[in-house]
Amino acid sequence: MSKVLVTGGCGYIGSHTIVDLIENGFEVISIDNLSNSSEDALLGIEKITGKKIHNYRVDLADRTRTFDIFEEHQDIKGIIHFAALKAVGESVEQPLRYFHNNLAGMINVLMAMNTFEVNNLIFSSSCSVYGNADHLPVTEETPLKEAESPYARTKQMCEQIIEDTLHRYTSLNAIMLRYFNPAGAHESALIGESPINIANNLVPVITETAIGKRESMTVFGDDYPTRDGSCIRDYIHVMDLANAHTKALTYLLEGNNKLNTEIFNIGIGEGVSVLEAVQAFEKVTGQPLNYEIGPRRPGDVIAIYANKNKTEQSLGWTPQRNIEDIMRTAWEWEQKRTGATIG
Ligand code: UD1
Protein backbone atom coordinates (compact mmCIF):
# COMPACT_ATOMS: atom_id res chain seq x y z
CA MET A 1 0.00 0.00 0.00
CA SER A 2 1.68 3.25 -1.10
CA LYS A 3 1.51 6.19 1.25
CA VAL A 4 0.42 9.51 -0.26
CA LEU A 5 0.61 12.93 1.32
CA VAL A 6 -2.31 15.13 0.31
CA THR A 7 -1.92 18.84 1.05
CA GLY A 8 -5.28 20.54 1.42
CA GLY A 9 -6.91 17.20 2.22
CA CYS A 10 -9.85 18.81 4.03
CA GLY A 11 -10.69 21.02 1.07
CA TYR A 12 -13.16 20.43 -1.71
CA ILE A 13 -11.06 18.65 -4.32
CA GLY A 14 -8.64 17.23 -1.74
CA SER A 15 -11.36 15.42 0.21
CA HIS A 16 -12.92 13.87 -2.91
CA THR A 17 -9.49 12.78 -4.13
CA ILE A 18 -8.74 11.09 -0.81
CA VAL A 19 -11.89 8.97 -1.27
CA ASP A 20 -10.75 7.92 -4.74
CA LEU A 21 -7.20 7.20 -3.51
CA ILE A 22 -8.46 4.99 -0.68
CA GLU A 23 -10.78 3.15 -3.05
CA ASN A 24 -7.73 2.45 -5.19
CA GLY A 25 -5.68 1.05 -2.33
CA PHE A 26 -3.58 4.04 -1.27
CA GLU A 27 -2.84 5.04 2.31
CA VAL A 28 -3.31 8.78 2.86
CA ILE A 29 -2.18 11.46 5.29
CA SER A 30 -3.26 15.09 5.01
CA ILE A 31 -1.77 18.49 5.78
CA ASP A 32 -4.33 21.29 5.92
CA ASN A 33 -4.24 24.54 7.88
CA LEU A 34 -8.06 24.73 7.72
CA SER A 35 -7.95 28.32 6.46
CA ASN A 36 -10.88 27.63 4.12
CA SER A 37 -11.93 24.12 5.15
CA SER A 38 -12.88 22.01 8.13
CA GLU A 39 -11.94 18.56 9.45
CA ASP A 40 -15.63 17.64 9.12
CA ALA A 41 -14.68 16.56 5.60
CA LEU A 42 -12.58 13.79 7.18
CA LEU A 43 -15.68 12.44 8.96
CA GLY A 44 -17.45 12.28 5.60
CA ILE A 45 -14.48 10.42 4.12
CA GLU A 46 -14.55 7.97 7.02
CA LYS A 47 -18.28 7.30 6.54
CA ILE A 48 -17.74 6.63 2.83
CA THR A 49 -14.55 4.55 3.01
CA GLY A 50 -14.39 3.26 6.59
CA LYS A 51 -10.89 4.78 6.88
CA LYS A 52 -9.82 7.43 9.38
CA ILE A 53 -7.52 10.01 7.85
CA HIS A 54 -5.06 11.90 9.98
CA ASN A 55 -4.76 15.63 9.25
CA TYR A 56 -1.80 17.71 10.39
CA ARG A 57 -3.07 21.22 10.99
CA VAL A 58 0.06 22.84 9.63
CA ASP A 59 0.64 25.79 7.32
CA LEU A 60 2.94 24.77 4.48
CA ALA A 61 4.60 28.18 4.71
CA ASP A 62 6.01 26.91 8.04
CA ARG A 63 8.95 24.91 6.72
CA THR A 64 10.06 23.52 10.09
CA ARG A 65 6.69 22.03 10.92
CA THR A 66 6.24 20.80 7.36
CA PHE A 67 9.62 19.06 7.43
CA ASP A 68 8.72 17.44 10.80
CA ILE A 69 5.88 15.61 9.04
CA PHE A 70 8.23 14.28 6.35
CA GLU A 71 10.65 13.26 9.13
CA GLU A 72 7.87 11.29 10.80
CA HIS A 73 6.71 9.62 7.56
CA GLN A 74 9.82 8.43 5.73
CA ASP A 75 7.73 6.18 3.47
CA ILE A 76 5.74 8.79 1.53
CA LYS A 77 5.73 7.75 -2.13
CA GLY A 78 3.96 10.73 -3.61
CA ILE A 79 2.47 14.15 -2.89
CA ILE A 80 -0.71 15.63 -4.24
CA HIS A 81 -0.46 19.35 -3.66
CA PHE A 82 -3.86 21.07 -3.47
CA ALA A 83 -3.33 23.49 -0.60
CA ALA A 84 -3.72 26.99 -2.01
CA LEU A 85 -5.97 30.02 -2.05
CA LYS A 86 -8.27 29.99 -5.06
CA ALA A 87 -10.68 32.91 -5.26
CA VAL A 88 -9.98 34.96 -8.37
CA GLY A 89 -11.61 38.20 -7.12
CA GLU A 90 -9.98 37.97 -3.69
CA SER A 91 -6.60 37.53 -5.33
CA VAL A 92 -7.05 40.87 -7.10
CA GLU A 93 -7.80 42.48 -3.72
CA GLN A 94 -5.02 40.72 -1.80
CA PRO A 95 -2.24 39.88 -4.26
CA LEU A 96 0.55 39.59 -1.70
CA ARG A 97 -1.43 37.17 0.44
CA TYR A 98 -1.95 35.02 -2.67
CA PHE A 99 1.69 35.16 -3.76
CA HIS A 100 2.95 34.42 -0.27
CA ASN A 101 0.59 31.56 0.45
CA ASN A 102 0.58 29.81 -2.92
CA LEU A 103 4.28 30.23 -3.69
CA ALA A 104 5.72 29.60 -0.21
CA GLY A 105 3.67 26.42 0.12
CA MET A 106 4.82 25.20 -3.30
CA ILE A 107 8.49 25.94 -2.62
CA ASN A 108 8.43 24.18 0.75
CA VAL A 109 6.78 21.12 -0.77
CA LEU A 110 9.54 20.95 -3.40
CA MET A 111 12.25 21.48 -0.78
CA ALA A 112 10.80 18.67 1.31
CA MET A 113 10.63 16.39 -1.75
CA ASN A 114 14.28 17.06 -2.50
CA THR A 115 15.42 16.70 1.13
CA PHE A 116 13.42 13.56 1.96
CA GLU A 117 13.65 11.95 -1.49
CA VAL A 118 9.95 11.87 -2.19
CA ASN A 119 10.04 11.66 -5.96
CA ASN A 120 6.49 12.08 -7.22
CA LEU A 121 4.31 15.19 -7.27
CA ILE A 122 0.86 15.90 -8.66
CA PHE A 123 0.19 19.63 -8.77
CA SER A 124 -3.24 21.31 -8.90
CA SER A 125 -2.91 23.69 -11.77
CA SER A 126 -5.72 25.46 -13.54
CA CYS A 127 -7.01 26.29 -16.98
CA SER A 128 -6.69 29.91 -15.87
CA VAL A 129 -3.01 29.64 -16.91
CA TYR A 130 -4.17 29.84 -20.55
CA GLY A 131 -5.71 33.30 -20.11
CA ASN A 132 -7.87 34.31 -23.09
CA ALA A 133 -6.67 31.65 -25.53
CA ASP A 134 -6.79 32.40 -29.27
CA HIS A 135 -8.05 28.96 -30.28
CA LEU A 136 -10.49 26.56 -28.64
CA PRO A 137 -10.41 23.92 -27.38
CA VAL A 138 -7.09 24.46 -25.65
CA THR A 139 -4.48 21.71 -25.78
CA GLU A 140 -1.54 21.43 -23.39
CA GLU A 141 0.57 23.02 -26.15
CA THR A 142 -1.62 26.14 -26.38
CA PRO A 143 0.62 29.13 -25.57
CA LEU A 144 -0.06 30.69 -22.19
CA LYS A 145 -1.40 34.24 -22.38
CA GLU A 146 -1.19 36.95 -19.78
CA ALA A 147 -2.74 35.76 -16.50
CA GLU A 148 -6.08 37.49 -15.82
CA SER A 149 -5.59 37.60 -12.03
CA PRO A 150 -2.92 37.15 -9.33
CA TYR A 151 -4.54 33.77 -8.61
CA ALA A 152 -3.93 32.65 -12.20
CA ARG A 153 -0.43 34.13 -12.04
CA THR A 154 0.38 31.98 -8.97
CA LYS A 155 -0.60 28.89 -10.98
CA GLN A 156 1.63 29.93 -13.88
CA MET A 157 4.47 30.69 -11.48
CA CYS A 158 4.10 27.38 -9.61
CA GLU A 159 4.26 25.53 -12.93
CA GLN A 160 7.49 27.38 -13.78
CA ILE A 161 8.97 26.78 -10.33
CA ILE A 162 8.27 23.06 -10.70
CA GLU A 163 9.81 22.98 -14.20
CA ASP A 164 12.98 24.80 -13.17
CA THR A 165 13.36 22.73 -10.01
CA LEU A 166 12.89 19.42 -11.78
CA HIS A 167 15.27 20.48 -14.52
CA ARG A 168 17.94 20.55 -11.81
CA TYR A 169 16.75 17.61 -9.66
CA THR A 170 16.08 15.01 -12.31
CA SER A 171 15.10 12.18 -9.98
CA LEU A 172 11.93 14.14 -9.13
CA ASN A 173 8.82 13.72 -11.28
CA ALA A 174 5.78 15.94 -11.53
CA ILE A 175 2.46 16.09 -13.28
CA MET A 176 0.58 19.35 -13.46
CA LEU A 177 -3.15 18.84 -13.88
CA ARG A 178 -4.81 21.86 -15.44
CA TYR A 179 -8.34 21.68 -14.07
CA PHE A 180 -11.16 23.32 -15.93
CA ASN A 181 -14.19 24.09 -13.70
CA PRO A 182 -14.58 21.51 -10.92
CA ALA A 183 -18.12 21.16 -9.56
CA GLY A 184 -20.59 18.65 -8.08
CA ALA A 185 -20.23 16.42 -5.05
CA HIS A 186 -19.73 12.78 -4.03
CA GLU A 187 -22.82 10.64 -4.79
CA SER A 188 -23.32 9.93 -1.08
CA ALA A 189 -23.72 13.67 -0.33
CA LEU A 190 -21.41 13.08 2.65
CA ILE A 191 -18.75 15.41 1.24
CA GLY A 192 -19.01 18.34 -1.13
CA GLU A 193 -17.95 21.92 -1.54
CA SER A 194 -18.28 23.79 1.76
CA PRO A 195 -16.13 26.86 1.69
CA ILE A 196 -15.82 28.79 4.94
CA ASN A 197 -15.57 31.98 2.93
CA ILE A 198 -18.48 33.09 0.75
CA ALA A 199 -18.96 30.98 -2.38
CA ASN A 200 -18.13 32.70 -5.67
CA ASN A 201 -18.17 29.82 -8.09
CA LEU A 202 -21.20 29.29 -10.28
CA VAL A 203 -22.49 25.91 -9.06
CA PRO A 204 -22.47 26.67 -5.30
CA VAL A 205 -23.99 30.08 -6.07
CA ILE A 206 -26.80 28.29 -7.96
CA THR A 207 -27.50 25.77 -5.17
CA GLU A 208 -27.32 28.43 -2.44
CA THR A 209 -29.83 30.53 -4.38
CA ALA A 210 -32.19 27.60 -4.91
CA ILE A 211 -32.14 26.69 -1.23
CA GLY A 212 -32.78 30.28 -0.18
CA LYS A 213 -29.41 31.26 1.30
CA ARG A 214 -29.39 33.98 -1.35
CA GLU A 215 -32.45 35.77 -2.63
CA SER A 216 -31.30 35.69 -6.22
CA MET A 217 -28.20 35.29 -8.31
CA THR A 218 -26.67 37.23 -11.15
CA VAL A 219 -25.56 35.87 -14.49
CA PHE A 220 -22.47 37.94 -15.18
CA GLY A 221 -23.06 39.19 -18.71
CA ASP A 222 -25.22 38.08 -21.63
CA ASP A 223 -23.46 40.19 -24.27
CA TYR A 224 -20.40 38.04 -24.86
CA PRO A 225 -19.71 36.77 -28.38
CA THR A 226 -20.97 33.24 -27.53
CA ARG A 227 -24.01 31.21 -28.65
CA ASP A 228 -26.32 32.71 -25.98
CA GLY A 229 -24.22 35.68 -24.87
CA SER A 230 -23.06 34.16 -21.55
CA CYS A 231 -19.56 32.85 -20.79
CA ILE A 232 -18.60 29.31 -21.66
CA ARG A 233 -16.73 26.92 -19.36
CA ASP A 234 -15.88 23.23 -19.18
CA TYR A 235 -17.47 21.88 -15.97
CA ILE A 236 -15.81 18.74 -14.68
CA HIS A 237 -17.39 16.58 -11.97
CA VAL A 238 -15.23 16.54 -8.87
CA MET A 239 -15.19 12.71 -8.69
CA ASP A 240 -13.93 12.48 -12.28
CA LEU A 241 -11.32 15.07 -11.37
CA ALA A 242 -10.44 13.11 -8.22
CA ASN A 243 -9.89 9.98 -10.29
CA ALA A 244 -7.54 11.88 -12.61
CA HIS A 245 -5.23 12.39 -9.62
CA THR A 246 -5.21 8.70 -8.76
CA LYS A 247 -4.48 7.83 -12.39
CA ALA A 248 -1.74 10.48 -12.64
CA LEU A 249 -0.05 9.28 -9.47
CA THR A 250 -0.24 5.65 -10.57
CA TYR A 251 1.28 6.66 -13.92
CA LEU A 252 4.25 8.21 -12.12
CA LEU A 253 4.64 5.36 -9.62
CA GLU A 254 4.67 2.86 -12.49
CA GLY A 255 7.30 4.94 -14.31
CA ASN A 256 5.11 5.52 -17.37
CA ASN A 257 6.01 9.18 -17.75
CA LYS A 258 8.14 10.19 -20.73
CA LEU A 259 9.44 13.43 -19.21
CA ASN A 260 9.94 14.37 -15.59
CA THR A 261 7.36 17.15 -15.87
CA GLU A 262 4.20 16.52 -17.83
CA ILE A 263 1.01 18.53 -18.18
CA PHE A 264 -2.55 17.28 -18.64
CA ASN A 265 -5.85 19.07 -19.18
CA ILE A 266 -8.68 17.83 -16.98
CA GLY A 267 -12.02 18.77 -18.47
CA ILE A 268 -14.86 16.99 -20.28
CA GLY A 269 -13.94 18.63 -23.57
CA GLU A 270 -17.23 20.50 -24.02
CA GLY A 271 -18.24 24.04 -23.31
CA VAL A 272 -21.38 24.83 -21.32
CA SER A 273 -22.67 28.41 -21.08
CA VAL A 274 -23.76 29.98 -17.80
CA LEU A 275 -27.38 30.04 -19.04
CA GLU A 276 -27.15 26.39 -20.09
CA ALA A 277 -25.81 25.53 -16.63
CA VAL A 278 -28.79 27.30 -15.05
CA GLN A 279 -31.17 25.38 -17.33
CA ALA A 280 -29.46 22.07 -16.48
CA PHE A 281 -29.98 22.80 -12.79
CA GLU A 282 -33.66 23.62 -13.28
CA LYS A 283 -34.17 20.50 -15.39
CA VAL A 284 -32.58 17.94 -13.08
CA THR A 285 -33.88 19.38 -9.82
CA GLY A 286 -37.24 20.78 -10.88
CA GLN A 287 -36.33 23.90 -8.90
CA PRO A 288 -36.89 27.26 -10.60
CA LEU A 289 -33.93 29.54 -10.09
CA ASN A 290 -34.32 33.21 -9.27
CA TYR A 291 -31.69 34.88 -11.41
CA GLU A 292 -31.11 38.15 -13.17
CA ILE A 293 -28.74 39.24 -15.89
CA GLY A 294 -26.06 41.60 -14.62
CA PRO A 295 -22.92 43.24 -15.96
CA ARG A 296 -19.79 41.31 -16.88
CA ARG A 297 -17.51 40.27 -14.00
CA PRO A 298 -14.02 41.78 -14.35
CA GLY A 299 -11.34 39.19 -15.06
CA ASP A 300 -13.67 36.60 -16.66
CA VAL A 301 -12.42 34.93 -19.81
CA ILE A 302 -15.09 34.68 -22.52
CA ALA A 303 -14.93 31.01 -23.32
CA ILE A 304 -12.64 28.11 -22.53
CA TYR A 305 -12.89 24.34 -22.77
CA ALA A 306 -10.42 21.50 -22.96
CA ASN A 307 -8.99 19.24 -25.56
CA LYS A 308 -8.58 16.10 -23.41
CA ASN A 309 -7.02 13.75 -25.98
CA LYS A 310 -3.57 13.69 -24.42
CA THR A 311 -4.99 12.94 -20.96
CA GLU A 312 -7.19 10.13 -22.25
CA GLN A 313 -4.39 8.55 -24.24
CA SER A 314 -1.65 8.82 -21.62
CA LEU A 315 -3.50 8.36 -18.35
CA GLY A 316 -6.34 6.16 -19.61
CA TRP A 317 -8.75 8.60 -17.94
CA THR A 318 -12.18 9.43 -19.31
CA PRO A 319 -14.75 11.56 -17.51
CA GLN A 320 -17.94 9.63 -16.72
CA ARG A 321 -20.25 12.46 -15.68
CA ASN A 322 -21.86 15.50 -17.32
CA ILE A 323 -23.36 18.85 -16.27
CA GLU A 324 -26.60 17.18 -15.16
CA ASP A 325 -24.71 14.81 -12.83
CA ILE A 326 -22.90 17.87 -11.49
CA MET A 327 -26.14 19.71 -10.75
CA ARG A 328 -27.88 16.68 -9.23
CA THR A 329 -25.04 15.83 -6.85
CA ALA A 330 -24.36 19.48 -5.95
CA TRP A 331 -28.04 19.91 -5.12
CA GLU A 332 -28.16 16.74 -2.99
CA TRP A 333 -25.11 17.98 -1.10
CA GLU A 334 -26.60 21.45 -0.62
CA GLN A 335 -29.80 20.02 0.81
CA LYS A 336 -27.94 17.67 3.13
CA ARG A 337 -25.54 20.26 4.48
CA THR A 338 -28.33 22.76 4.96
CA GLY A 339 -30.53 20.14 6.59
CA ALA A 340 -33.38 20.91 4.22
CA THR A 341 -35.40 18.93 1.73
CA ILE A 342 -37.02 20.82 -1.08
CA GLY A 343 -38.86 19.32 -3.99
C1 UD1 B 1 -11.88 30.42 -12.32
C2 UD1 B 1 -10.74 29.76 -13.06
C3 UD1 B 1 -10.56 28.36 -12.61
C4 UD1 B 1 -10.39 28.30 -11.12
C5 UD1 B 1 -11.58 28.95 -10.45
C6 UD1 B 1 -11.30 29.01 -8.97
C7 UD1 B 1 -10.66 30.72 -15.30
C8 UD1 B 1 -10.98 30.51 -16.73
N9 UD1 B 1 -11.01 29.73 -14.48
O10 UD1 B 1 -13.04 29.81 -12.77
O11 UD1 B 1 -9.41 27.82 -13.21
O12 UD1 B 1 -10.28 26.98 -10.70
O13 UD1 B 1 -11.74 30.28 -10.93
O14 UD1 B 1 -12.26 29.71 -8.28
O15 UD1 B 1 -10.12 31.72 -14.88
N16 UD1 B 1 -20.85 33.19 -12.85
C17 UD1 B 1 -22.03 33.90 -12.87
N18 UD1 B 1 -22.60 34.22 -11.67
C19 UD1 B 1 -22.03 33.89 -10.47
C20 UD1 B 1 -20.83 33.14 -10.47
C21 UD1 B 1 -20.26 32.83 -11.69
O22 UD1 B 1 -22.57 34.24 -13.91
O23 UD1 B 1 -22.59 34.26 -9.42
C24 UD1 B 1 -20.24 32.85 -14.15
C25 UD1 B 1 -18.87 33.47 -14.33
O26 UD1 B 1 -18.96 34.75 -14.90
C27 UD1 B 1 -18.22 32.46 -15.26
C28 UD1 B 1 -18.86 31.12 -14.87
O29 UD1 B 1 -20.04 31.45 -14.15
O30 UD1 B 1 -18.56 32.73 -16.58
C31 UD1 B 1 -17.98 30.28 -13.99
O32 UD1 B 1 -17.50 31.10 -12.92
P33 UD1 B 1 -16.75 30.47 -11.66
O34 UD1 B 1 -17.49 29.29 -11.18
O35 UD1 B 1 -16.50 31.58 -10.70
O36 UD1 B 1 -15.39 29.93 -12.24
P37 UD1 B 1 -14.30 30.62 -13.20
O38 UD1 B 1 -14.17 32.06 -12.89
O39 UD1 B 1 -14.60 30.20 -14.60
Catalytically active residues are 151
Last residue of a domain, one of 266, 282, 310: 266
Give the distance (Å) from ligand 1 centre to CA of residue 284. 21
Q: Within a domain: residue 41?
A: yes
- Examine the domain organization and report whether 85 and 141 are in the same domain: yes
Ligand 1 pocket, residue 297 CB under 6 Å: yes
Of 177, 297, 301, 323, best ligand 1 pocket probe by most atoms within 8 Å of the beta carbon: 297
Write out the residue range of the structural domain in which residue 218 sits.
Answer: 202-233+269-338
Residues 322, 265: Cα–Cα separation, whole Å: 17
Q: How many domains does the chain have?
A: 2
The predicted structure's pLDDT at residue 210: 96
Q: How many CB atoms lie within 10 A of CB 57?
A: 12
Condensed to tens digits (0 to 9), the pLDDT of residues 55-100 reads: 999 999 999 999 999 999 999 999 999 999 998 889 999 999 999 9
Q: Within a domain: residue 52?
A: yes
- Examine the domain organization and report whether 154 and 294 are in the same domain: no
Task: Report whether pLDDT(217) > 60.
Answer: yes
In ligand 1, which atom is closest to the CA atom of 294? 22
DSSP helix/strand/coil, 7: strand
State the maximum Cα–Cα separation within the chain, in Å, rounded to a whole number.
57
- Examine the domain organization and report whether 288 and 226 are in the same domain: yes
Residues 301, 186: Cα–Cα separation, whole Å: 28
Q: Within a domain: residue 197?
A: no
Condensed to tens digits (0 to 9), the pLDDT of residues 100-149 reads: 999 999 999 999 999 999 999 999 999 999 998 999 999 999 999 999 89
The pLDDT-based confidence of 342 (bands split at 50, 70, 90) is: low
Q: Within a domain: residue 8?
A: yes
- Examine the domain organization and report whether 111 and 256 are in the same domain: yes
- Do residues 242 and 232 lie in contact, with contact meaning Cβ atoms separated by under 8 Å? no
The pLDDT-based confidence of 298 (bands split at 50, 70, 90) is: confident
- Examine the domain organization and report whether 273 and 260 are in the same domain: no
Task: Report whether pLDDT(341) > 70.
Answer: no
Ligand 1: which residue has its CA nearest to atom 31? 202
Residues 303, 301: Cα–Cα separation, whole Å: 6
- Examine the domain organization and report whether 127 and 215 are in the same domain: no
Task: Report whether pLDDT(239) > 60.
Answer: yes
β-pairing, 235-237 vs 181-183, is parallel
- Examine the domain organization and report whether 27 and 149 are in the same domain: yes
In ligand 1, which atom is closest to the CA atom of 180? 11
Of 300, 305, 323, best ligand 1 pocket probe by most atoms within 8 Å of the beta carbon: 300
Q: Within a domain: residue 79?
A: yes
